[in-house]
Structure 1
Amino acid sequence: MFTAHISTDMKREQSVQEHCRNTAELCGGYCKLFGAENIGRLSGLLHDIGKLCSDFDNYIRGISGFSRGEIDHSYAGAKFITENSDKAHAGVARLIARVIISHHGLHDWVDDNCRDYFHIRIANDKNYEQIKENTSLMISADEFDGLLEKADDEYRIICQKIKNISKNKTDCAFYLGLFERLIESALIDADRTDTAAFMDDEEYPEYFALHDLWLFMKNNMEKKLDSFSDRTDVISDQRKSISERCADFAKNDVKICRLIVPTGGGKTLSSLRFAIEYCLEHGMEKIIYTAPFMSILEQNSAEIKGIAGEENFIEHHSNALSEKSDNSEELSAYELHTERWDKPVIATTMVQFLNSLFLGKSASVRRFHRLAKSVIIIDEVQSMPLKCVNMFDLAVNFLSNICGAAIVLCTATQPVTDDVRFPMLLDEKESMTGDFKADFEIFRRTEIIPKTDEYGYSNEEAADFCIDKFTLAGDLLVIVNTKSSALKIYELIKEKCQNDAEVVHLSTNMCPQHRRDKIEAIRVLLNEKKPVICVTTQLIEAGVDISFRCVVRSLAGLDSAVQAAGRCNRHGENNDICPVYLIKLKEEKLGNLKGISTAQYITQRIINKYEDISSPDVVSDYFRELYNNEKEKLSYSVRENETLVNYLSLNTKRYEMLPDPKTCSQFESQAFKTAGKLFNVIDENTRDVIVPYNKEAEEIISRLENNHENISLLLRKAQKYTVSIYIGTERKLYENNSLRDISCGAAILDRSHYNSEVGIDIEGAEKELLVF
Structure 2
Amino acid sequence: MLHDLGKYSLEFRNYIIAAIENPDNPPKRGSVDHATAGGKLLYDFFHTTNITRNKGLLAEVVGNAIISHHSYLHDFIDPNLESKYLNRVRDKELPEFNNSVEYFFKNIMNEQKFHQYVENAAEELGNFLTKEPQENSEKVLMYLTKYIFSALIDADRTNTRQYEENQTEEIEIDSKKLFTEYNEKLTNKLNSFKMSENAKQPINILRSDMSDQCQDFASKPSGIYTLSIPTGGGKTLASLRYALNHSLLHDKKRIIYVVPFTTIIEQNAADVRGILADNERILEHHSNVIEDESDDDESQDGRINTQQKLKLAKDNWDVPIIFTTMVQFLNVFYAKGTRNIRRLHNLTESVIIFDEVQKVPTKCVSLFNEALNFLKLHGKSSMLLCTATQPTLNFVERKLEIDTDAEIIDNLDEVNDAFKRVEIIDEATDSTMNNDGLAEFIKEKSLESKSILVVLNTKTVVKRLYESLDQSLNDKTHIYHLSTSMCAAHRNNILKEIKYQLKEGESVICLSTQLIEAGVDISFDSVIRSMAGLDSIAQAAGRCNRHGEADLQHVYVIDHEEENLKHLKEISEGKKITRNILKDLRRQTDSHGGSILSHKAMERYFEEFYSTFEVDLDYFIPKLEQNMITLLTASKREYVYVEAYKQKYQGSLPLFLANSYRTAAENFQVIDNKTTSVIVPYQAGEDIIAELNGSIRIDDLNKLMRKAQHYTVNLYTHEIDALNRNNAIVSLFDDKILALNENAYNDEYGLDLEVESGGGFYHV
TM class by shorter-chain length?
0.7 to 0.9
Residue of structure 1 aligned with 2:232, choices 254, 260, 264: 264
**Match in the other structure for 1:118:** 85
Range 681-690 or range 632-641, more displaced? 681-690
Q: How do residues 288-687 of structure 1 correspond to structure 2 at under 5 angstroms?
A: 288-306=256-274, 307=276, 309-318=278-287, 338-499=314-475, 501-574=477-550, 576-609=551-584, 610=592, 611-640=594-623, 641-650=625-634, 652-658=639-645, 659=649, 662-665=652-655, 668-686=657-675
Please state how far the C-alpha of 1:318 moved relative to its aligned partner: 4.1
Q: Which residue of 2 aligns with 1:14?
A: none
Inter-CA distance 639–157: structure 2 relative to 1 (3 Å threshold): same
CA positional deviation for 1:143: 1.3
Code of the aligned partner of 2:500: V
Q: Where does residue 80 of structure 1 map in the other structure?
A: 41
Deviations 1:448-481 (A, max 9, x none): 2221125311222222222222212222111111
1:217 and 2:185 matched: no
Report how far residue 501 of structure 1 moved. Answer: 2.7
Aligned equivalents of 1:618, 1:250: Cα separation in 2: 30
| Structure 1: distance between partners of 2:711 and 2:315 | 24
Does the CA-based 8 Å contact 1:337-1:343 persist in structure 2? no
Partner of 1:244: 212
How big is the shift at 1:83? Answer: 3.5
The 1:503–1:54 alpha-carbon spacing in structure 2 relative to 1, beyond 3 Å, is closer
**Distance in 2 separating the partners of 1:103 and 1:700:** 31
Distance of 1:185 and 1:697 partners within structure 2:
31
In structure 2, the CA distance between the partners of 1:220 and 1:421, relative to structure 1 (3 Å rule), is same
Which secondary structure does the structure 1 equivalent of 2:453 belong to?
strand
2:521 counterpart SS class: coil
Q: Deviations over 1:508-535 (max 9, x none)?
A: 3334333323222221221122222222
Change (3 A) 1:266 1:320: farther
Contact residue 116 and residue 664 of structure 1 kept, 8 A:
no
Alignment partner, residue 299 of structure 2: none
SS in structure 2 of the partner of residue 113 of structure 1: coil
- Displacement, 1:243? 0.8
Q: Is the 8 A contact 1:50 1:75 kept in 2?
A: yes
Q: Is the 8 A contact 2:160 2:312 kept in 1?
A: no
Which amino acid in the other structure matches residue 678 of structure 1?
Answer: N
Shift of 1:198: 4.1
TM-aligned CA distance change 1:397 to 1:717, over 3 Å: closer
Equivalent-residue separation in structure 1 for 2:416 and 2:184 (angstroms): 30
Q: Which moved more, 1:462-471 or 1:559-568?
A: 462-471
- Alignment of structure 1 residues 107-186 onto 2, 5 Å: 107-123=74-90, 124-126=92-94, 127-137=96-106, 138-163=108-133, 169=135, 171-186=136-151
The SS at the match of 1:378 is strand
**Cα distance in structure 2, aligned partners of 1:698 and 1:117:** 44
Deviation by residue 1:687-720 (Cα, 9 ceiling, x = unmatched): 66665656x566667x489x55569688876654
* 1:15-59 C-alpha deviation (Å, 9 max, x unpaired): xxxxxxxxxxxxxxxxxxxxxxxxxxxxxx222222222222222
CA contact (8 A) 2:6 2:100 kept: yes
Kindly indicate whether the alpha-carbon contact (under 8 Å) linking 2:222 and 2:380 is maintained by their aligned counterparts in 1.
Answer: no
User: In structure 2, what residue type is equivalent to 1:317?
Assistant: H
Aligned to 2:245: 277
Distance 2:116 2:687 in 1: 62
Contact 1:314/1:338 (CA < 8 Å) preserved in 2?
no
Q: Which moved more, 1:253-262 or 1:395-404?
A: 253-262
d(CA) in 2 for partners of 1:80, 1:100: 11
Residues 289 and 677, structure 2, Cα contact 8 Å, conserved in 1? no
User: How big is the shift at 1:277?
Assistant: 0.7
Q: CA RMSD in A?
A: 3.1
Alpha-carbon offset, residue 496 of structure 1 = 4.4
Which residue pairs with 1:68 in the alignment? 29
Q: Structure 1 residues 288 and 698 mapped into 2: Cα distance closer, same or farther (>3 Å)?
A: closer
Secondary structure of 2:284 counterpart: strand
Name the counterpart of 2:64: 98
Distance 1:741 1:280, change over 3 A: closer
Query: Match of 1:286?
Result: 254
In structure 2, list runs of 5 or more residues that go unmatched.
291-307, 585-591, 755-764
Decide whether aligned partners of structure 1 residues 499 and 383 sit closer, same or farther in structure 2, where only a CA change above 3 A counts.
same
1:747/1:394 CA distance change after superposition, 3 Å = same
Q: Which amino acid aligns with 2:740?
A: I
Q: 1:479 to 1:280 in 2, by over 3 A?
A: same
Q: Structure 2 CA distance, aligned partners of 1:600 and 1:237?
A: 36
Quote how far apart the aligned CAs of 1:437 are. 2.8
* Structure 2 CA distance for partners of 1:425 and 1:606, relative to 1, 3 Å: same
1:211, 1:734 → 2: CA distance? 50
Distance 1:475 1:484 in 2: 23
| Corresponding letter in the other structure for 2:373 | N
Instruction: Say if 1:201 and 1:740 are closer, same or farther in 2 by CA, change over 3 A.
Output: closer
Residues 76 and 86 in structure 2, CA contact (< 8 A), matched pair in contact too? no
Instruction: Give 1:196's aligned amino acid.
Output: R
Distance 1:456 1:552 in 2: 13
Opposite residue 60 of structure 1, the aligned amino acid is I
After TM superposition, give the deviation of residue 588 of structure 1 in Å: 2.0
State percent identity of aligned pairs.
Answer: 37
Q: Distance in 1 between matches of 2:526 and 2:651?
A: 64
Q: Cα–Cα, structure 1 residues 466 and 202, in superposed 2: closer, same or farther, change >3 Å? A: same
Aligned residue in 1 for 2:298: none
Q: What do residues 100-136 of structure 1 show as CA deviations (whole Å, max 9, x unaligned)? A: 2223331111134312333332224522221222222
**CA–CA distance in 2 between the matches of 1:139 and 1:699?**
51
The structure-2 alpha-carbon separation of the partners of 1:53 and 1:729, relative to structure 1 and needing over 3 Å to count, comes to: closer
TM-score between both structures, scaled by the size of structure 1: 0.83
Scaled by the length of structure 2, the TM-score of the pair is 0.84
The alpha-carbon distance between structure 1 residues 660 and 416, as it changes in their structure 2 partners (threshold 3 A), is: farther
Could you say if the C-alpha distance between residues 134 and 686 of structure 1 is closer, same or farther in structure 2, counting changes exceeding 3 Å?
closer
Distance 1:488 1:111 in 2: 47
Q: Residues of 1 paired with 2:503 and 2:611: CA distance? A: 44
Per-residue deviation, 1:761 = 6.3
Counterpart secondary structure, 2:433 = coil
Corresponding letter in the other structure for 1:551: V
Indicate conservation of the 8 Å contact 1:81/1:93, yes or no: yes
Q: Distance in 2 between matches of 1:607 and 1:740?
A: 47
Tell whether the 8 Å contact from 1:503 to 1:534 is kept in structure 2 after alignment. Answer: yes
Distance 1:606 1:594 in 2: 19
Report SS of the residue matched to 1:228: helix
In 2, Cα distance between equivalents of 1:602 and 1:95: 44
